[in-house]
Amino acid sequence: MTWLEFFSRLLSVVSRTPRWKTFAAGGALVLAAATPLFTPYLLKLFVDIAIPRRDLNLLWSLGVAAVVVYAVASLTRHYGRMEVARLAEDFRRRLTCQAFSHLQGLSLSYHRSRGIGDLSARILYDTYSLKSFIASTLPAAVELAVTIGGTAIILVILAPSLTLLAFAALPAALIIAYLFRDKIRPLSRELSEHHGKVYATVHEALTSIEESKVYGGAAEFDQRLAEQSRRLADTEVEIARHRNKLLPLLNFGISLVLVGVLVGGGYMIIAGTVSVGTVVAYYFYISKSLGPIRSASTLMLSWHRAVTAMERLQELFDSEERLEQTGNPRELSEIQWDIAFENVSFRYSDSQTNRSFVALENLTFNISHGQRIALLGPSGAGKSTTGKMVPRLFDPDHGQITVGGVSLKDLALDEWRQRVGYVGQNVFLFSGSIEQNIRFGLKTTSAEDAFKLAIRAARVDEVIAQKPDGLATQVGERGTCLSGGQKKRIALARALLRSPAVLVIDQLAADLQEDLCREIFEMIRREYHVSILYLGHRVPAGFNPDAVYWMEEGRIKRQLQSHEGSSARCEVDSSIGETGS
């Protein structure tokens, strides 16, 4: 990424804050860096005029001028830094939200192929690096530029020959900066990737805390984190090593310049070509520039980190792995709700290893509106993958899924998903109350009757009756305060509240006892006109399917009779362990 691309991307986010604020902050920082440039000149007047002439009025005037200079520098610096800090926070907030929202719109395949750690590092660590660049590096760079630029101009006016000497070291500094860049860029990228791995380990360890405790996995996670932290620390140390190589070179170069100024200036004073005050002021100007020049290595480091962060975020923004969507979606009101899987094939691919795995092959079956279809089969047969195709979590690689003869790709994705109820195999609840979880994601406030009905149909009424806080009961992060069956029922109520046209249920029978299953399916039959695709190892009690299919290795092998669906459970019960009769 070139610096031009970097800054145009930066400005595209910053430009949404009022322009005058950006200019005011920039102006204040320039003023804060420029005003102290007057002090060595005041010193020159002090040495060359006020003292030799014993002019007390001038002495006092110079003192007052110095106080004014320091006051203006302090006030503008304070204002500029505060505004830039606000701007940086605003930038981070916008960028984080933009990146997160873009990420959420990307396909499930993209999420799966990148992993939580890498994506979290981009959203959290990389945006933070950019914020730090704006808050600290940019003001320091302005200070450096104004100090060096202003000093150069003043020095040229004061004594052009001495200035040539002072800037002789500039080409060497540029070569050092170029070499530094080649070392630091790859290390900065490595650093972001290590951060991603650390995030991933922490996330995995905390989400699997139960298994981890039971199987003593904590030690394994400790070891993994220790190893990743070590690599992260090694990279940081490597970066510090390169930076510290640069610092002595800079210091040495600056010392040579100072010695050169003293010796050269001494010659000129003796020759009578410059005054003592000019050389004193000159010396002060050079030494004043030292602070900002010394911070140049920190600035370069932060610059390379920021460029790496911007590149990684740009990769995310450039990724358009979205589901295919027709430009003119069909109205859902025109559609018949009969669903057809037509020769659907799908493979999971891993973009990092370039490997892929066939999960579904030429899958063909229909669900007429209101029908109940059970898709049974052994573990890994492809049932859940089939279910995920209905709300378009994945799209077929070949073949198509239609509703009323219209391809799902020709419908507005959001509208279609509003009409699909999906109760996945691993139900995910969000921290909040039971009620908030049931209403989650609903675009309109549903009627109270519909809410009460969904609660009754999914038998959540029984759950809330057991809880002192009823519907207001907090479910904990990921629903950890509830049992597996309770979570499934809340997820089912969430799906029913949308009055879905089609409902996908992945393995309800494994979490609920038979009579509860029967009550639920009977209630749904009475109260909702909905097609149901049930995925599991056996037909649940009360489901009464219109058709039962047996699936193996991504294909439908045969259609079973209803009673076979129940015996299929016996066939697989011992291996799978789904509970119930």
Ligand X SMILES: Nc1ncnc2c1ncn2[C@@H]1O[C@H](COP(=O)(O)OP(=O)(O)OP(=O)(O)O)[C@@H](O)[C@H]1O
Q: Which is nearer to ligand X, 155 or 510 (CB)?
A: 510
Q: Which residues, in sequence order, are CB contacts of 261 under 8 Å at separation 6+?
A: 162, 165, 166, 279, 282, 283, 286
Q: How far apart are CA 72 and CA 74, in angstroms?
A: 6
Tell me which amino acid residue 565 is: G
Query: Is 359 near ligand X (CB under 6 A)?
Result: yes
The angle that helices 484-496 and 514-527 make with each other, rounded to 10 degrees, is: 0
Question: Which residue, chain included where needed, has tokens 């011992």?
Answer: 574
Q: Please, which of residues 37-96 interact with ligand X by CB under 6 A?
A: none
Coil, strand, or helix at residue 15?
A: coil
Among 79, 100, 348, 440, binds ligand X (CB under 6 A): 348
Task: Quickly count helices (H) and strands (E) in the chain.
Answer: 23, 10
Min dist. Cβ of residue 504 to ligand X (A): 12
Min dist. Cβ of residue 348 to ligand X (A): 3
Among 105, 380, 476, 484, binds ligand X (CB under 6 A): 380
Min dist. Cβ of residue 556 to ligand X (A): 12
- Per-residue CA distances from 112 to 106, 108, 122, 294, 350 (Å): 11, 6, 15, 45, 8
Min dist. Cβ of residue 376 to ligand X (A): 9
Q: Which is nearer to ligand X, 462 or 553 (CB)?
A: 553
Kindly indicate which of the ranges 25-33, 383-391, 415-423, 441-449 contains the residues binding ligand X, using the contact rule CB under 6 A. Answer: 383-391
Min dist. Cβ of residue 503 to ligand X (A): 17
Among 384, 402, 418, 473, binds ligand X (CB under 6 A): 384
Kindly indicate which of the ranges 51-59, 219-227, 374-382, 491-499 contains the residues binding ligand X, using the contact rule CB under 6 A. Answer: 374-382
Min dist. Cβ of residue 152 to ligand X (A): 60
Kindly indicate which of the ranges 43-51, 138-146, 308-316, 372-380 contains the residues binding ligand X, using the contact rule CB under 6 A. Answer: 372-380
Min dist. Cβ of residue 440 to ligand X (A): 24
Q: Residue 91: which of 17, 4, 7 has the closest Cα?
A: 17
Answer left, alpha or beta for residue 421, where phi above 0 means left and psi between -120 and 50 means alpha: beta
Helix or strand run (H / E) with residue 330 = none
Tell me which amino acid residue 37 is: L
With b for 16 or more beta-carbon neighbours within 10 A and e for fewer, the 393-417 pattern comes to bbbbeebbbbbeebbbbbbebeebb
Query: Tokens at residue 56, please?
Result: 């007390």
Min dist. Cβ of residue 478 to ligand X (A): 19
Query: Tokens at residue 241, please?
Result: 């090593």
Query: Is 424 near ligand X (CB under 6 A)?
Result: no
Q: Please, which of residues 92-121 interact with ligand X by CB under 6 A?
A: 112
Min dist. Cβ of residue 324 to ligand X (A): 20
Among 379, 444, 466, 574, binds ligand X (CB under 6 A): 379
Among 277, 292, 377, 565, binds ligand X (CB under 6 A): 377
Q: Which is nearer to ligand X, 349 or 433 (CB)?
A: 349
Coil, strand, or helix at residue 407?
A: strand
Query: Is 484 near ligand X (CB under 6 A)?
Result: no
Query: Is 385 near ligand X (CB under 6 A)?
Result: yes
Q: How far apart are CA 220 and CA 164, in angstroms?
A: 62
Kindly indicate which of the ranges 10-18, 89-97, 381-389, 458-466 contains the residues binding ligand X, using the contact rule CB under 6 A. Answer: 381-389
Using CB under 6 A as the binding criterion, the count of chain residues that bind ligand X stands at 13
Kindly indicate which of the ranges 174-182, 232-240, 312-320, 379-387 contains the residues binding ligand X, using the contact rule CB under 6 A. Answer: 379-387
Among 345, 425, 499, 544, binds ligand X (CB under 6 A): 425
Backbone phi and psi for residue 474, each to the nearest 5 degrees, phi listed first: -80, 130
Query: Is 396 near ligand X (CB under 6 A)?
Result: no
Among 36, 139, 382, 485, binds ligand X (CB under 6 A): 382
Min dist. Cβ of residue 383 to ligand X (A): 4
Min dist. Cβ of residue 561 to ligand X (A): 21
Q: Residue 535: which of 523, 520, 545, 525 has the closest Cα?
A: 545
Among 252, 357, 428, 430, binds ligand X (CB under 6 A): 357
Q: Are 239 and 303 in contact (CB under 8 A)?
A: no
3-state helix, strand, coil in the chain (%, to 5): 65, 10, 20
Helix or strand run (H / E) with residue 212 = helix 209-214
Q: How far apart are CA 258 and CA 287, in angstroms?
A: 8
Query: Tokens at residue 562, please?
Result: 């209803």
Min dist. Cβ of residue 505 to ligand X (A): 12
Q: Are 99 and 313 in contact (CB under 8 A)?
A: yes
Q: Which is nearer to ligand X, 520 or 535 (CB)?
A: 535
Min dist. Cβ of residue 357 to ligand X (A): 5
Coil, strand, or helix at residue 331?
A: coil
Kindly indicate which of the ranges 311-319, 375-383, 487-495, 560-568 contains the residues binding ligand X, using the contact rule CB under 6 A. Answer: 375-383
Q: Residue 509: which of 518, 497, 496, 500 has the closest Cα?
A: 518
Among 122, 383, 487, 494, binds ligand X (CB under 6 A): 383
Q: Are 311 and 1 in contact (CB under 8 A)?
A: yes
Q: Which string of DSSP letters, residue by residue, matches 460-505?
A: HHHHHHHSTTGGG-B--GGGTTS-HHHHHHHHHHHHHTT--SEEEE
Q: Which residues make up the interface to ligand X (CB under 6 A)?
A: 112, 348, 357, 359, 377, 379-385, 425
